[in-house]
A = this chain, B = another copy of it.
């Protein structure tokens, strides 16, 4: 039998099955019926073309393209949705470009406190860490909590001790943070000192430019969904503050029955709106499509509530949605057609 080039979505396992089957064509069609898809975000916020120098924009676009391709490659090779999510988020945590891992922004105390979570849509197993200061890759720690502890959420020193026991890399707290982040802290502090403190209502102009997190959602060739989110939090946050990123149901959610979601935005509003689970509930209980449910939550409910941000989402058919109500959202996706999409502004489509 001559070897024919196989569609990229076909995993090694599917290939072996295919060559053993009587008609390769039928199995390839079967594989095509189980699409893979992958999407990431690198934070939402007051990103505008005017405030972003062209060389900076080019850097973001190149990074997003590299990360989304790396995650998608894991799926193409037949890897799991969880592996694809972790691969992509680790790259973003290590890049120093996004507000997660190395590039985390600073708390009001001038420290970096990181949060992350992950969820497996097949089993609804979940893991998260919050307020960690020494774990190089919080998304790996979240996965270790999910797979190797009876708990879902570990915080602070307890989470760091667990991560060390699991053989994950710990670093000095000085590893995290960038010069840009330091300047952003000064800017936000200066802005905040000009206005009175009002509980849970922050005017847009006082918001940090990057409401940053990073996140990824994946659909693998086995038909499983997964979602993960990682963040350095919000510039000038009170130390000890935890946003939506490590909160299952708020910043991250995955269930094969509905969708996989990773959010980015003003975390307090995302927690109070239980954003990720709300999308899943609208699909499960109201019969909305992924596109309808994500638009309802991000463009209508969150806007009415005053919650700035967006999300990336996938369903089991491989549909991708990436709505946001902020001026911009760093995002990228590769769908069933295998084409790489990268976007920052609204006009990117």
Interface residues of A in 93-139 (CB under 8 A from B): 119, 124-126, 130-131
Tell me the smallest distance from the CB of A49 to a CB of chain B, in Å: 29
Asked whether A240 lies within 8 Å of B272 as measured between CB atoms, the reply is no
CB contacts (< 8 Å) of A119 on chain B: these are 272
Asked whether B149 lies within 8 Å of A130 as measured between CB atoms, the reply is no
Given contacts A199-B148, A285-B286, whether A155 and B131 have CB atoms under 8 Å apart is: yes
Tell me the smallest distance from the CB of A127 to a CB of chain B, in Å: 9
Given contacts A126-B271, A199-B148, whether A285 and B277 have CB atoms under 8 Å apart is: no
Q: Does A323 contact B (CB under 8 A)?
A: no
Given contacts A154-B240, A239-B158, A240-B158, whether A149 and B199 have CB atoms under 8 Å apart is: yes
Tell me the smallest distance from the CB of A193 to a CB of chain B, in Å: 14
- Bound-state CA distance A122–B154 (Å) is 31
Q: Does A336 contact B (CB under 8 A)?
A: no
Q: Does A200 contact B (CB under 8 A)?
A: yes
Asked whether B153 lies within 8 Å of A271 as measured between CB atoms, the reply is yes
CB contacts (< 8 Å) of A222 on chain B: these are none
CB contacts (< 8 Å) of A253 on chain B: these are 274
- Bound-state CA distance A282–B250 (Å) is 17
Whose C-beta in chain B lies nearest to the C-beta of A305? B124
Tell me the smallest distance from the CB of A290 to a CB of chain B, in Å: 15
Tally of A interface residues using CB under 8 Å: 53
CB contacts (< 8 Å) of A202 on chain B: these are 150
Interface residues of A in 195-246 (CB under 8 A from B): 197-202, 237-243
CB contacts (< 8 Å) of A199 on chain B: these are 125, 146-150
Whose C-beta in chain B lies nearest to the C-beta of A154? B240
Whose C-beta in chain B lies nearest to the C-beta of A119? B272
Whose C-beta in chain B lies nearest to the C-beta of A162? B238
Whose C-beta in chain B lies nearest to the C-beta of A132? B240
Interface residues of A in 235-293 (CB under 8 A from B): 237-243, 247-250, 253, 267-268, 271-274, 277-278, 281-282, 285-286
Asked whether A152 lies within 8 Å of B272 as measured between CB atoms, the reply is yes
Asked whether A161 lies within 8 Å of B271 as measured between CB atoms, the reply is no
Whose C-beta in chain B lies nearest to the C-beta of A147? B199
Q: Does A151 contact B (CB under 8 A)?
A: yes
Task: Please give the residue numbers on chain A whose beta carbons come within 8 Å of chain B beta carbons, in ascending order.
Answer: 119, 124-126, 130-131, 146-159, 161-162, 197-202, 237-243, 247-250, 253, 267-268, 271-274, 277-278, 281-282, 285-286, 305
Given A147-B199, A149-B238, 4 new contacts (CB under 8 A): A150-B201, A154-B238, A274-B277, A281-B285
Question: Nearest 6 CB-CB pairs, A to B?
Answer: A158-B240, A281-B281, A249-B274, A285-B285, A285-B286, A158-B239
Chosen A-B contacts, 19 in total, with CB atoms closer than 8 Å, are A124-B305, A125-B199, A125-B200, A126-B272, A131-B156, A149-B200, A150-B201, A151-B237, A151-B241, A153-B241, A153-B242, A154-B241, A155-B240, A157-B240, A158-B239, A247-B247, A247-B248, A249-B277, A285-B285
